[in-house]
Structure 1
Amino acid sequence: MGIVYQRVLFKLSGEALMGDLAYGIDPAVVQAIAQEVSDVVATGVQVAIVVGGGNIFRGVKGAAAGMDRATADYIGMIATVMNAMTLQDSLEQMGVPTRVQTAIAMQEVAEPYIRRRAIRHLEKGRVVIFGAGSGNPFFTTDTTAALRAAEISADVLFKATKVDGVYDSDPHQNPNARRYQSLTYAHVLQQDLRVMDSTAIALCKDNNIPIIVFDLSVRGNILRAVTGETIGTIVGGSCEIS
């Protein structure tokens, strides 16, 4: 098994933790994700994770329902911490040392985000889960993932989703939708392919961080991604469109 990355960052959506539930956290799904992350850690790869909160509360929907957007976003950030702590618990039950760092101070349950401390945890083989987004409203957890990946000098950003890559149209609505194997940052931005939001794509482009989009629901895909197997869609500066 060849490991092609030394330090990776996974972006997990809150929805990924729901499984087939309509709302909340499916313990079986969290346990399965934790087991796969544990398998990756066992190879010596340094793992950081950014989690979303859409399974509990989404700021944009709260704002659409009449809430102040900043307030709604802060509530969404707190929801991500709930997910981060849940994932931490599952990992630690498997014997994987894990730290949660939050961009909003809540020292009773998590460390504050400190870049150098996060890197030191990674160097010691601990999984670091970043919660509370970037700590700022109006920014998505996709942007946070790109930001943290740049800050910790991650080799790659993995976006774990419910689809097996990036398509030229919605594969759920168009049975003839074509999946891309590789894309440039520029093409993603120009075609508004919504791999991640435009700020996240621009951050990755500026810092030359490749993005790999893959299907989280397929057992073993996290380890396959880290070992460099061709899965999903890769977005990068030198990629051909294919």
Structure 2
Amino acid sequence: MPIDFKVINQNIAHIVINRPERLNALDVEHERALAAAWKRFNTDSGLKVAILTGSGERAFCTGADILDYIPHRRRIAESQGEQGTISFGGLTAIRDVMKPTIAAIDGFCVAGGLELALACDIRIATPDARFGLPEVRWGIIPGGGGTQRLGKIVGLGVAMKMILTGNEISADAALNCGLVTDLVEKSELENTAIAIADRIVKNGPLAVVAARQALFASFELPMEQGLAKEAELQRHLLLTDDAAEGVAAFSEKRHPKYQGC
């Protein structure tokens, strides 16, 4: 299969871009298959967290398969005119996926591959990972959310340097600027991603989704509106059975049994 999809521990989706012979670059067929995988994750209520990674030892994803995908996007641009945004692989448009996502990165994570990683909520990597947005070298820009997300994560100066030069940065540099949160050895990459996902799954599912929404609001709204959004989400949570169960479990010194209601 071009995109592997398996379920781990009942609640975790493991999505693997399986095209190592092309450094996991996505042509039109594989880009659509990845979008279908995200739709499956999004609509399956039993799946709480997704891990995205690439097959092989050389690349997480090197983005679009230029000779196939860019002409496809050009035809879309011609037909849409000024309308429409780009959702690369069904992940990079606003709110494509409504549940937590983790990118487990080894090797090259560049162009659209980095944009996929930027669209994930948490990014971990190996020391061999490399990161870059080289699109200006090809006469285009990082149009799958790269210009919008990178600066919010690493700061405007680092983002400007990466995007305007097209140069790559190392895993250590990515850790230092906050692009990734953890560096782990290759042998531990999958286990570390699963451990993070497992920890998220154990938390109140409604609270996880609400906390994610509140964090996005902190980047998208002025402070006053963001605080109002946070308060609104908190009010809804306080009236749920899960919130009552969380307090009861804490009082009784036991693990909570959340029902998502």
Q: Answer whether TM exceeds 0.5 for this pair.
A: no
Larger relative contact order, structure 1 or 2 (CA cutoff 8 Å, min sep 6): 1
Task: Give TM-score scaled by structure 2 length.
Answer: 0.29
When normalised by structure 1's length, the TM-score is: 0.31
Q: Which has the higher helix share?
A: 2
From the CA coordinates, give the structure whose radius of gyration is larger. 2
